[in-house]
Amino acid sequence: MIYTAETKQKMDSIMEAFAEYIQEQSYFDILYSEKVGYIRIIAEMPEAESPMVIETPDSLVETIIGDVADDLIAEKLRKPLPEDEDLPEEIKAEIYQQIIESVGRIGEDREHYLDLARNYCQNRFEKRADGEI
């Protein structure tokens, strides 16, 4: 995939905002290829999962914030949460804070990405009145 100059610039800005987080990870990496664009790979076992081509700035943000959330959950819980249990509020708050802080470093279209991050957190961690997440 070849991005437009504007899309590539937006994606570069997102990568810059999350560069420290991505660099610290041993589990995955996000690489750029001039032939296909940004690619997320599983670094610990690249053969275990096919690389994921990231097509848009929004999907890049969603991919990274999903990894941030998963990492914090794994770090804080240290064991899988039973399906019928909700994530503790303090962990939700920490995930939200870290995601919003990181997304806030994105220069261009910051408000759009902050809204995307808020929606992600709401959809993933807040239960609706009918009991569904």
Q: Tell me: the pLDDT tens digits for 40-90?
A: 998 877 677 788 999 999 999 999 999 999 889 888 887 777 676 788 889
Whether residue 21 has pLDDT greater than 90 = yes
Determine how many CB atoms are found less than 10 A away from the CB of residue 57.
25
Q: Which pLDDT score, from 0 to 100, does residue 127 have?
A: 61
What pLDDT band is residue 30 in, cutting at 50, 70 and 90? very high
Q: Which pLDDT score, from 0 to 100, does residue 128 have?
A: 43
pTM of the model: 0.85
Q: Cite the DSSP H helix spans in 1-105.
A: 5-17, 19-24, 57-77, 89-103
Q: Which pLDDT score, from 0 to 100, does residue 2 have?
A: 80
Measured distance CA(24)–CA(110) in Å, rounded: 23
Whether residue 120 has pLDDT greater than 50 = yes
Closest of 130, 60, 68 to residue 101, by C-alpha: 68
Sheet with strand 37-42: strands edge to edge: 28-33, 37-42, 52-54
Whether residue 131 has pLDDT greater than 90 = no
Whether residue 130 has pLDDT greater than 70 = no
Token pair for 42 = 């599983």
Q: How large is the average pLDDT for residues 1-28?
A: 91
Q: Which pLDDT score, from 0 to 100, does residue 41 have?
A: 92
